[in-house]
Amino acid sequence: MAPLRSFVDVPPESHFPLENLPYGVFRSISGGDPRPGVAIGDYVLDLSAVAEAGLFDGPLLKNSSCFSQTSLNKFLEMGRSAWEEARLTLQKLLSADEPTLRDDEKLREKCLFPVQSKVKLLLPMVIGDYTDFFSSMHHAKNCGTIFRGPENPIPQNWFHLPIAYHGRASSVVISGTDITRPRGQAYPAANSPPYFGPSKKLDFELEMAAIVGPGNELGHPINVNNAVDHIFGLVLMNDWSARDIQAWEYVPLGPFLGKSFGTSISPWIVTLDALAPFACEAPKQEPEPLPYLSEARHVNYDIPLEVYIKPAGLEHQFLVTKSNFNHLYWTITQQLAHHTVNGCNLRPGDLLGTGTISGPNQESFGCLLELTWNGQKQLSVGDSSRNFLEDGDEVTFTACCKGDGYNVGFGICTGKVLPLSS
């Protein structure tokens, strides 16, 4: 099938052609309230202006106020039928052969904004709750080997359920937000008291996150085979981690201050509809999951992932690892079904992180903890090296699926480390 053509100029290398149309929320730099939009090439299409012009004429969206909101939550709540209706309408409106926007200069100027010069991208949804899973077997094995030795690196329960902890939604920030180095307690040396001060082992974690659409009522689990209809799409996520603080605090209740100081996400939500051509078979699970986790369609997505570090004072960034979403052992639908099996209620806009996505070899490890083996090795970053992140380092994640003549990408998720404030 030939790539779709838009009347909007879409550069060949763009992450955002008609095949993608990811959703976000933006504010015009000239002022006004935040509003929903979709990315097309180097532009954002203002969905509130499209709705105001009466261009959503399908039964679900015609009289809906979902695009006059300051977040995507109301649209997320409407579910797959509304999402599909919106996608078909937007692909038609933006196509090269459709005159409605193409030939109406005033309407076009009202609806389309250059991203780089005219808008500020914001968090796309109000996040009520944030959960972080631990779903990469390679990451689990490496972490277990580092901290417990190679004899039994992965606990028995890991192969029976998607392990997770509840994170801190208030410190989830949009890409481009600086991250201040956290401080806290760390392991004592010999018989001294615990160390207290700035983290000496600040790390990135290469993750993605699922955005919840329709939720479920308290006490009513979501069937694993219906879970896909409760997931709107995916974003890139950097779950920054202070490894020294985390190592001292996590027994017996798990991560706390070592994680809650900051989590960065990319601004554009790529829908599962856009990712459908890149679905692939997920890893075989042994032992067979319990019935509530056994899914008829056991799939991941082929999403290549890359991480770059730009040291302070330099213009060039350096590739430090390449992984892929398809390495996840537990799928996002299994994660969501497990999250609700006890009756827990999810809500539109909830964020479900995958956990660090590591591949099987050194070049595909998803964090510095693995890449440097907890600081025992040096990682080359241009002419310098790293055990863990230094002040001034800027970390950038990117991801892009390669179709036949087109891309479906996520843009970037970036953040710079600032020194601890006094």
pLDDT over threshold 90, residue 219 = yes
Last residue of a domain, one of 87, 122, 157: 122
Same domain, 241 and 383: yes
pLDDT at 422: 65
Does residue 7 lie in a domain region?
Answer: no
C-beta neighbour count of 353 within 10 angstroms: 27
Q: Determine contact, residues 18/1, Cβ cutoff 8 Å.
A: no
Q: What's the CATH code of the domain at 72?
A: 2.30.30.230
Residues with Cβ within 8 Å of 127's Cβ and at least 6 positions away in sequence, in order, are 169, 172, 349, 350, 351
Residue 268 lies in a domain: yes
Establish if 11 belongs to a structural domain.
no
What does the H/E/C string look like for the chain?
A: CCCCCECCCCCCCCCCCCCCCCEEEEEECCCCCCEEEEEECCEEEEHHHHHHCCCCCCCCCCCCCHHHCCCCHHHHHHCHHHHHHHHHHHHHHCECCCHHHHCCHHHHHHHEEEHHHHEEEECCCCCCCEEEECCEHHHHHHHHHHHHCCCCCCCHHHHCCCCEEECCHHHEEECCCCEECCEEEECCCCCCCCEEEECCCEECEEEEEEEECCCCCCCCCCCCCCHHHHEEEEEEEECCEEHHHHHHHCCCCCCCCCCCCCEEECCCEEEHHHHHHHEEECCCCCCCCCHHHCCCCCEEECCEEEEEEECCCCCCCEEEEEEEHHHECCCHHHHHHHHHCCCCCCCCCCEEECCCCCCCCHHHCCEHHHHCCCCCCCEEECCEEECCCCCCCEEEEEEEEECCCCEEEEEEEEEEEECCCC
Q: Quick check: is 65 in a domain?
A: yes
* Same structural domain, 242 and 333: yes
Same domain, 110 and 248: no
Q: Which of 122, 156, 185 is the last residue of a domain?
A: 122
Residue 1 has pLDDT above 80, yes or no: no
Per-residue pLDDT tens over the stretch 368-408: 999 999 999 999 999 999 999 999 999 999 999 999 999 99
Query: Does one domain contain both 113 and 232?
Result: no
| Interval 143-148 mean pLDDT | 95
| Residue 337, amino acid | A
What is the tens place of the pLDDT at every residue in 249-276?
A: 999 999 999 999 999 999 999 999 999 9
Distance CA 214, CA 146 (A): 39
Number of domains in the chain: 2
| Residues contacting 257, CB < 8 A, separation 6+ | 182, 184, 242, 245, 249
Do residue 30 and residue 93 come from a single domain?
Answer: yes
Residue 82 shares a structural domain with residue 170 = no
Give a yes or no: residue 241 inside a domain.
Answer: yes
Q: What is the mean pLDDT of residues 138-151?
A: 96
Average pLDDT for 49-68: 97
Q: Which of 139, 230, 327, 339 is catalytic?
A: 139
Give pLDDT, residue 421: 79
In angstroms, the CA 348 to CA 366 distance is: 28
Of the three residues 97, 122, 147, the one that is the final residue of a domain is 122
Catalytic annotation present for 339:
no
- Residue 190: the pLDDT is 87
Could you read off the pLDDT of 189-199 as tens digits, one per residue? Answer: 988 999 999 99
pTM of the model: 0.97
Position 140 in a domain: yes
Q: For residue 50, what are the domain limits?
A: 23-122
Same domain? 73 vs 139: no
Percent of the chain with pLDDT over 90: 97
Q: Are residues 115 and 199 in the same domain?
A: no
